[in-house]
Structure 1
Amino acid sequence: MAFTSPTVAAWELGLRLRERRELMDITAASAAKAIHTGQSFVSGVETGRVKINARKLAELAAVLDFDEDEVGELQQLREAAGKRAWWSPYSAMFSAEVLRYFGFEAGAESIRAYSAGLITSLLQTEDYAMAIMNGGAPSIRLAEANRRVEVRMKRQQRLEGGDPIRLTTVIAESGLRQMVGGREVMAAQLRHLAAKIDQHPDTLDVRIVPFSADYHNAIGGSTFYILGFAGGRLPDLVWQETVSTTDLIDQPMRIREYSLAHSQAMDHALDRSESLRLIEQIGKELE
């Protein structure tokens, strides 16, 4: 079992423990009492936010009647969850929720994204990302802005390597025409976007919703990402970004609404070839 993300490993460990506990009709309080700890500890482990040591996990697994092979898998998950993540050195710069998103993104198998006014973050150039950092928070110090851009570039490594993430992103035409950073920065960004599409034909699908498209549910909405995970055991998650807030969504009904909105946006978007042609056309207009 190989894990690329401690966050996803901790999440799966917690889900498996909670599912077994609920299947056996044991309350979190009863499970906690059986291993001589508090309910908040067990609940924290089940949400992936609290670490558990090997001894306590073995005790809890015994209470929940896991067999020997399952206990071995749980211990592997625990060990994976305890590894140091690449985003750990940046933890002081971001909220706990944003850091959790980095962890889920790092361990996801696929992402379906929608972006109305900007290029999707996983496809941004450094200059484009820096323009967003400076424009979104003019008072931010240059050193911190550089570090934030560095994090964004590290996140993009999921697009590369032997096991790249599958990214399907829908971008409104306004995202191609908004002069983020100025004409030169935007022209370079569109060249970069076209190059990425050419480099990753099997794992990257970029669709543009043209101005001529009719109304769909994502119009006027916020940027969102629907994360899918390998194996079928872990459910989808949604990450939503607004002007002032970010939100990690795990409620099935809300996730379904975002999935439908993404599907509608895809239905109104140009196909892959037409999308690439429009990106290249707008890029040439800027040169």
Structure 2
Amino acid sequence: MAPPSSTVAAWELGLRLREEREALDFTAVEAAGRIGIAQNYLSDIERGKRKISEAKLDELIDVYGLDAEEYRELVELRSDAVLRGWWSKFSGLFDQDVLRYFGYEHGAEAVRTYESLLIPGLLQTNSYARAVISSDTPNIPVSEVERRVEARAIRQQRLFGEEPLRLTVAISEAALRQQVGGPEVHAEQLEHLIKVIEQLPESLKLLVVPFDAGAHGALGASTFHIVSFPSPKLPNLVWQETVTSTDVIDNPIRVHQYSLTYEEVVKHAYDRSVSLRFIREALGG
């Protein structure tokens, strides 16, 4: 299981409300009109982007004719959805899509990550993260760097504890060779990778794609994460990062395409034990 996440709860609540509406063949306009809200507002609720009040949820449940068990589950989801996650204190620092991703990641059961040039954020040391963040001077003010490093460190807490996030990372050999922050920061980062791989044998799998692996579907691709959740009612999501944009992808066909690409990448990667040995060699070399 994963810890509660207001973002995930709001998303599941919205999905379930939309499913109930569509099962009754109501349009969003009709359903919104029944409880006296705008259609756009209901659409945002169904996408998990806005919160619904307890009174309006009661009205909507009544309109949809849901039974007592469904009522209880939806009310519980709404209670979780209105809580403030740790990421809310960074609302002035990150845009809403990034904050949503933090919420999804916090409430996720598993994440599969592909990264071609950098060590993924969940596995970065503070020094490495600081070097990465501070290098983007056109877009990130110096005054924001330390708080962004702090947010990254908080995210990493999901890797530990009784119910850790299951993380599978496929990285190019280039990510191990790029000396972000200089030789000392680079060496510290590789030592950290070795430490966490050994510390988390059941929940962390890091796979290195060597230079001689040949071409694969993600070669040259931007960073992406495939996120899975404990609730069977929630589909997988993809979070994609480019230099100038980020994007949450929930279209089932596109998510499936990313999953197939990831499986292909893994075929070209060393397994966990060989990857660990490779990192040791990179550190020694």
CA distance in 1, matches of 2:3, 2:65: 25
Question: Which residue in 2 is equivalent to 1:237?
Answer: 237
Note the C-alpha offset of 1:184. 0.6
Mapping of residues 1-287 of structure 1, within 5 Å:
4-137=4-137, 140-285=140-285
CA distance in 1, matches of 2:37, 2:132: 46
CA distance in 1, matches of 2:59, 2:139: 51
Amino acid at match of 1:86: W
Encode CA deviations 1:87-128: one digit per residue, 9 max, x unaligned: 111100111111111111111100000000001110000000
Q: 1:32 to 1:3 in 2, by over 3 A?
A: farther
CA distance in 2, matches of 1:133, 1:100: 20
Match of 1:80, SS?
helix
CA distance in 1, matches of 2:85, 2:6: 7
CA distance in 1, matches of 2:138, 2:37: 47
Q: What's the TM-score, normalizing by structure 1?
A: 0.97
Match of 1:93, SS?
coil
Residue correspondences, number: 285
Note the C-alpha offset of 1:63. 0.8
Match of 2:211, SS?
coil
Q: Is the 8 A contact 1:170 1:266 kept in 2?
A: yes
Amino acid at match of 1:150: E
Amino acid at match of 1:82: V
Q: 1:3 to 1:193 in 2, by over 3 A?
A: closer
Q: Is the 8 A contact 1:170 1:265 kept in 2?
A: yes
Match of 2:247, SS?
strand
Among all aligned residue pairs of Structure 1 and Structure 2, give the percentage whose two residues are the same amino acid. 51
Encode CA deviations 1:172-214: one digit per residue, 9 max, x unaligned: 0000000100011000000000100000000000000001101
Encode CA deviations 1:65-99: one digit per residue, 9 max, x unaligned: 11011111111110100001101111001111111
Amino acid at match of 1:55: A
CA distance in 1, matches of 2:220, 2:141: 31
CA distance in 2, matches of 1:143, 1:212: 41
Match of 1:136, SS?
coil
Match of 2:167, SS?
strand
Match of 1:92, SS?
coil
Note the C-alpha offset of 1:253. 1.1
CA distance in 2, matches of 1:238, 1:231: 16
CA distance in 2, matches of 1:140, 1:231: 36
CA distance in 2, matches of 1:85, 1:188: 31
Note the C-alpha offset of 1:2. 8.2
Q: Which stretches in structure 1 are left out of the alignment for 5+ residues? A: none
Encode CA deviations 1:253-281: one digit per residue, 9 max, x unaligned: 11111111111110000011110000011
Q: Is the 8 A contact 2:207 2:275 kept in 1?
A: yes
Q: Is the 8 A contact 2:2 2:230 kept in 1?
A: no
Q: Which stretches in structure 2 are left out of the alignment for 5+ residues? A: none
Q: 1:98 to 1:2 in 2, by over 3 A?
A: closer
